[in-house]
Amino acid sequence: MPETLELLKKLISAPGLSGYEGPVSQLVAEAWEAITDELQTSRVGSLQGLQCGTGTDPRPKILLATHMDAIGLMVSGYAGDCLRVTSVGGVDHRVLPGQSVTVHGREDLPGLVAQPPANLIPGGDKKKPVAMQYLLVDVGLNAEELRQKVRVGDLISFAQEPLEMGENTVAGHSLDNRVSVVALTLALEDLRDRSHAWDVWAVATAQEEETMAGAKTSAYDLRPELAVAVDVTFGEGPGAPKHKAYPLGEGVTLGWGPTVHPVLHAEFKKIAQELEIPFALEPLPRRSGTDADALQLSTVGIPTMVVSIPLRYMHTPVEMVSLKDIKRAGRLLAEFVARLPLDYMDTLTWKESVSLS
Amino acid sequence: MKSLIKKFAQIPGPSGYENQIRAAVRAEVEPCANEVIVDALGNLIVRWGEKGPDGLRMMLSAHLDEIGVIATHVDKKGFVRFAGLGGVHPAYCVGGHVRFLNGTRGVISFEKESGLKKMPSLDKLFIDVGATSPGDCPVGVGDVAVFARKYQELGEKIVTKALDDRIGVVVLVEALRQLHEENLDSPHELYFVFSTQEEVGLRGAGTSAYHINPDLGLSVDVTSTGDTPKGSKMEVRLGEGPAIKVRDGGMLSDPRVVDWMVSTAEEHEIPCQLEILKGGTTDARAIQVTRAGVPVGCLSVPCRYVHSPSEMVDYGDVEDSVRLLVALLSDQVPQLEGEE
C-alpha cells in the first residue's frame, strides 16, 4: 500500500490539464519505463506503452486505457487586477470560491479563486452559486504586472496538497483519473512477472475530459482486438444516494450496458468472484462517460469493457478515493489479461444472455 | 478582395446544398491548383505544392456552407413552417428575409398569440411568401432557404450574411492565390479544403481529413467577440487582428500549433489576439480526432453577430488573416515537440 500511495501522490503532483498532458505524461513514462518494452507519445499526446506477450507473432493486442488528463481552469481574460477564467473539463463551479490554485503564466503564480458579491453580478442572487464566467482569480499583482506575466489561454491548476485520511483514504485534486493510471501501473508490474499471451498496450490517454481525442486516436493507431477503460465512478457520500453511487473501499464496479461487451463483463465478473475481489454491477444505460465510448466505436468496432473505481466529490479539488479499490482494479486487470488465450477472439461472440446474478 | 467577399457571401449555400458556392469557389481556385477533387460529401479539395524534405502535408479548412432553414409544412393559408439547418436562433429570425434556392422570397414572423415578451421558439415562427394556399405556394416541404441581407461597408467594417464562413473561404482563396501567383516558396504539400456541412456537425471536414491524412490541420473560421455593449466576457475584439484559437466549446488547439502561430505572427509583426470561445467549434475539432490524431489549430477572423443575417468583420482583420496564413504556409513548421 505505501508504494501505491507514493505513486499516486507523485502523479497528482504534476499538472496535466486536458490538451496539456506533458508534465504528467513524463511522470507516467518514468513509472512505466522499466515495465514496458516500448513507449511512445501519440500525435495528440497520449502515452502508449507496449508490454509484449509471449504468444506467437502476430499476437492479438488488448488496449488498457486510463486517462491522465485532469480538469482545471484556463485564463480567459482580465478584470482589473484579477483574471477571468473558463473551465477545462467539467469543473464544479460551486466549490471554487476560496480555493487555492496555481496560475501557470510566464512563471508559476500562486492564486486564489475570488467571488464577487452578488450585487455586482447581472441578475445576481445571493442564494445561488456564482457562475463560472463571473468568478475571478487573484494572484496579488496589479493590472499591469498581471498582463506581463499572464496571458489569455494560460492554464490554472488546483493547488491543494493531498490529504491522507485513515489507513486507506486519500483526498485531493486530479484523482479523476490518476487513480486509474496507478491501477494500470500496478497491473503492468504484476504482468511483468508472469506469462501473458497477448500484447498489452497500456495507454494513458489525453483529453478524455474534453473530447476523448486520446482514446479515439490511439484505438485507431494501435488497432487492438479488445479494449478496457478504467475510470472513476460516483462514490457513495453526502447527496449521492445508493441507487446512483457506489461505496468507497468496498470494491470496483463492472460496467454493464450497450457500451460494454456482455461476454467481457461476464469474464471480469467470474475472475472477480474467483479472486474474491469485491465488486458492484454498474448499469450504464447510455454513454459510459469514459474513454470506452470512443474505444468501442473505433475502426471496425472493438469489444470493450469498463471498470471503475468509486470516488467522492467528483470534479472538485477534493476528490476522495480508497487505496484498496485502486489495488483491486489493478489486480483484476492483470488477471484478465494473463488469462486471455491466444485464440480468444475466435470464441468471442455478442451474447446477451450472460448471467448477472 | 472586397469584391470576392461580396460575391461569395451573396451566393446561397445552406448545409448540404453547397453546389452554387462550390462552383464559384472552384472557378477562382482552379487556375492555381495542382489538383482539384470534389469528394463524396461535396468537399472541394485543392492540392497545391510538393512536400519538401522539411515540409508537411497540411490541411487547411474553411467551410462552404452557411446556416439556413428548411420548410417542414405548408398550412391551408400558404404559411410555411420551418426548421433550422444549423444553429438558427429565433432572436435573429423575426422580421428577417429569406430566399429559397428556387428564388422565392419570404419574410419571417411569429404567432402573435404567444406574444413577444418571451423569445418565441422556432416552431412558433413561420415564413410568409405571399401565398394564400398550398396550391399557390411556390415552396414545398423540403425546400431550403438562406437568410437574405445585402453586402454593406460601414467604414472599415463589412456587414453581410454568411460571413460565417465565406470570410474564411476568401482568406483561403486569397492565400492560395498569393502563394501561386507570387511564386512563393513553401516546403509543404498543401490541401485547401472548402468543406461542406460544417454547420450541422463538421461532417465534410471529418471525411476530407480522413482522405488527406494530414500531418497538421488548420481551420479558418469566424469567432465571436466580447466588444459589444454588455456582451459576453470574451477578450477578442474587432479590428485588433486575427485571433489564434486556444480553445473553443469543442476543441483544445494543440499548444505546439498555438505557439507556432503566435511566434509567426510576432516575427512578421502581424497583430493577433488569443481566443477562448465558450460555445461553438470549427472544422479543426473533426480534423484533430481523425485517424491516429492530427495536431490542429485555428485561425479565426473576429466577427460580431455570428449566426445573424448581419455578420460583421473588420477589413483590416481579414487582410491580416491572409498575411498570417501566407506567412504560416511559406515557412517550415518547427519540429513539434514530442513528435518522433
Taking an 8 Å cut-off on Cβ atoms, the answer to whether B289 and A216 are in contact is yes
**Boundary-marking domain end, from B116, B147, B178:** B147
Residues 21-80 of A with CB under 8 A from B: 22, 40-45, 74, 76-78
Residue B340 pLDDT exceeds 70: no
Question: Which residue has 512578421 as its cell numbers?
Answer: B268
Neighbouring C-alpha atoms within 13 Å toward the C-beta of A53: 23
Give this complex's ipTM.
0.92
Taking an 8 Å cut-off on Cβ atoms, the answer to whether A217 and B293 are in contact is yes
- How far is the C-alpha of B85 from the C-alpha of B73, rounded, in Å? 15
- So what's the pLDDT on residue B260? 97
Q: Clarify whether B198 is annotated catalytic.
A: yes
Closest by CA to B20, choosing from B66, B61, B60, is: B66
SS3 call for B327: helix
Taking an 8 Å cut-off on Cβ atoms, the answer to whether A43 and B293 are in contact is yes
Q: Is residue B337 situated within a structural domain?
A: no
- So what's the pLDDT on residue A355? 66
- So what's the pLDDT on residue A357? 59
- So what's the pLDDT on residue A356? 65
Residue of A nearest to B247 (CA): A153
Please provide the size of chain A in residues: 357
A86, A90, A92, A96: CA torsion to nearest 10: -30
Residues contacting residue B263 through CB under 8 Å, at least 6 positions apart: none
Interface test with B, best of A44, A47, A48, A212 (most B CBs within 10 A): A44
- So what's the pLDDT on residue B13? 98
Query: Which one of B230, B235, B285 has the shortest CB-CB distance to A77?
Result: B235
Q: Where are the domains of chain A?
A: 2-70+173-347, 72-158
Q: Quote the domain boundaries for residue B173.
A: 2-66+161-330
CATH of the domain spanning A72-158, picked from 1.10.10.10, 3.40.50.720, 2.60.120.10, 2.40.30.40: 2.40.30.40
Helix boundaries (H) for B158-248: 163-181, 203-212
- So what's the pLDDT on residue A1? 55
Query: Which one of A45, A211, A220 has the shortest CB-CB distance to B292?
Result: A220
Nearest 5°: the CA angle B203, B340, A105 is: 80
Q: What is the CATH number of the domain that holds B122?
A: 2.40.30.40
> A298 to chain B, minimum CA–CA distance in Å?
9
B114 shares a domain with B7: no
Q: Is residue B153 situated within a structural domain?
A: no
Residues of B with CB under 8 A from a CB of A: 226, 230, 232-235, 246-247, 250-255, 258, 273-276, 278, 285, 288-295, 338-340
- So what's the pLDDT on residue A243? 86
B248 shares a domain with B104: no
Q: Is residue B190 situated within a structural domain?
A: yes
**pLDDT tens-digit readout, B162-183:** 999 999 999 999 999 999 999 8
Taking an 8 Å cut-off on Cβ atoms, the answer to whether B252 and A84 are in contact is no
- So what's the pLDDT on residue B113? 85
SS3 call for B125: strand
B83 shares a domain with B51: no
Mean pLDDT, to the nearest integer, of B73-96?
96
Taking an 8 Å cut-off on Cβ atoms, the answer to whether B246 and A207 are in contact is no
Q: Is residue B338 situated within a structural domain?
A: no
CATH number belonging to domain A2-70+173-347? 3.40.630.10
* Catalytic annotation, pick one of B189, B198, B240, B311: B198
Question: Which residue has 472538485 as its cell numbers?
Answer: A316
Total domains in chain B come to 2
Question: What is the DSSP secondary-structure string of A136-177?
Answer: EEE-S--HHHHHHH--TT-EEEE-PPPEEETTTEEEETTHHH
Q: What is the CATH number of the domain that holds B39?
A: 3.40.630.10
pLDDT (tens digit, 0 to 9) for every residue of chain A, 357 residues total?
A: 568 999 999 999 999 999 999 999 999 999 999 999 999 999 999 999 999 999 999 999 999 999 999 999 999 999 999 999 999 999 999 999 999 999 999 999 999 999 988 777 877 777 888 889 899 999 999 999 999 999 999 999 999 999 999 999 999 999 999 999 999 999 999 999 999 999 999 999 999 999 999 999 999 999 999 999 999 999 999 888 888 899 999 999 999 999 999 999 999 999 999 999 999 999 999 999 999 999 999 999 999 999 999 999 999 999 999 999 999 999 999 999 999 999 999 999 888 777 665
Mean pLDDT of the residues in chain B:
96
